Amino acid sequence: MLAEDRATDAVVQRLLVVGGPGSGKTTLARSLAAALGLPHHDLDRVAYSPPPDGQNAPFWQWVRASDDQRRERAACLAATGGWVADGLYAGWTAPLRDAADVILWLDLPARITAWRVLGRAAEDRRRGGQDWDLRSVRRVARGALSYRRRPEGTADQLRERDGANSSRTLAAFLQPVSDRVLRCDSPGAVRQAVREITHRRPSEPRNSSS
């Protein structure tokens, strides 16, 4: 069950959507933000910054922020009144995890996520976008395929490289707030969680494969 002081009829004001590459977290987070009337924050844009000489540079050219910078940005975001944030990051996102009313964890199979990565990259190229170069597509697709198999990343590894994030890493990271986590391991479970979130606060976490 959700913690007693959170299991109310109040609508969700702070929602964290987490999951691996290709899980659909950003698309879903944008949709939920619109439904809830809250601002959306893509944590990739918190974890990375445009190069100093290229504010309009494609995302694959952005520069990785330091762990201290990321933690400071996450704390500032968590302190705002209401938000929907999405990303694959553990560790520095602890302020968001701790402040969230609900955490929606998209833990989908690789056969779904890898195809979504390829489809998203193809759509970006079709529209003339520049966020995906060939190296980025390969890296993200490999990450989607291995995400649920990789071991739990240590705190030091998470500070050094984003590849240390994995399904096991998120499971350990979310364990202290498991009473607020809705884990979805299938598209059907995601749809059910969305219904619960958009029809006021869900009463208990899900762990289904419907």
Domain boundaries, the chain: 14-199
Give pLDDT tens digits along the chain (210 positions).
Answer: 333 334 334 679 999 999 988 888 999 999 999 999 999 999 999 999 888 876 677 777 889 999 999 999 999 999 998 999 999 999 999 999 999 999 999 998 877 776 666 666 566 666 666 555 566 666 666 666 667 777 899 999 999 988 888 889 999 999 999 999 999 999 999 999 999 998 854 444 445 444
Q: Which of 34, 30, 4 is nearest to 17 (CA)?
A: 30
Which pLDDT score, from 0 to 100, does residue 162 have? Answer: 86
Which pLDDT score, from 0 to 100, does residue 210 have? Answer: 43
Which pLDDT score, from 0 to 100, does residue 4 have? Answer: 34
Cβ–Cβ under 8 Å, residues 181 and 103: yes
Token digits of residue 82: 């209401």
Q: CA angle 194-198-199, nearest 5°?
A: 115
pTM comes to 0.80
CATH architecture of the domain formed by 14-199: 3-Layer(aba) Sandwich (3.40)
